[in-house]
Structure 1
């Protein structure tokens, strides 16, 4: 009987054109599936918890696939890493129930967005942060975070993309802090996110910080559902998928209780 294997995956988004398979571009999904064929000769269909865009990174994306290959579960991630390209690494593997689906069973996700605040653009961190300049009031950005927390219609924070049944989502935690010198980190945990929602939220908070948007207008802007009133869509390279949460703990501190206390 085939085993259902869950993987915890880390990758450098600058090496790929997103997660999902594309006919004319190299993606993380293709890299993993091709590597398994090279390793075992078996074709698989791997299901990812998130379909990250080109340039977006991950340190904790979860995926699953079914296999008849007899490699011990605790060796699968090590075997994968002998054949995967350098920009992606499998951090852990775990056998899960036959009906587990990394995408549809996810309760929510934790993302981080990194701004590089400096007059001079970054060189070493250019693929992992978004460069911002000028005066920024971090306290104003921090105070504005509360305006986005809760279950709301976030249509004003979505670019046009894949149609969705509803634009209502729930943000459980949103905070922004000085990560290191020159780097500001935005952390967000929610049940799900609309197309470019986090990158637009990052742009909106940036505009609040530099005075282009007044935080007192945010409730009205959200109610309007008007995308043009919010901040710009920030670049993809500042965004990281950190963790995916499930009903039961999968890879550590990612279960139901962790999700609601995070």
Structure 2
């Protein structure tokens, strides 16, 4: 599991958690930061349309009445976090909180050692890159804006999440992303992720795929089926089509 192959592409689309950043960076650092701040954030921003919309969606999804308290809403959110449910209203609220945390200097992203050198190399070679993560676009941009390697937001031309693209395990989401990228031929888009089901969905949409089976990560020993799998971005060669 060392040869990821060489790819001549129009776009590289990358997952974040488990692919660029250790899962613990999300499930421990970011989740623990957001958890105690959810209730105060909801109470402090009742007129924010993103917050109000998220709260309405949480009530509807959980079957809570209009009179549900913030504590009851937060209890639902904590349950979703414990189950690692990729719920859009949860991701929206987390993204707002993380955005503030990065801006205030409370949070600094750290990526796998191979990631930033490889991304910078591809960027220098004029390979267009985009992100597709279950985390909100706002949270993604905030994460890349404050890292141990500086501001990396300039490396990416587009950001996609479950709101502007759709679920990560459905082929239609990847078709929507391709449209957002300007309609490249599907086989000219390369998707990198650590989750086999996401790779399956991208492949169903006609994309090329490589799995990241990083040692110590949840999907390190997963069955990647027909997808090539590597342990590092350094194992993948990419050039502009």
TM-score when scaled to structure 2? 0.25
User: Which protein is bigger by CA-based radius of gyration?
Assistant: 1
The structure carrying a bigger strand percent of its residues is 1
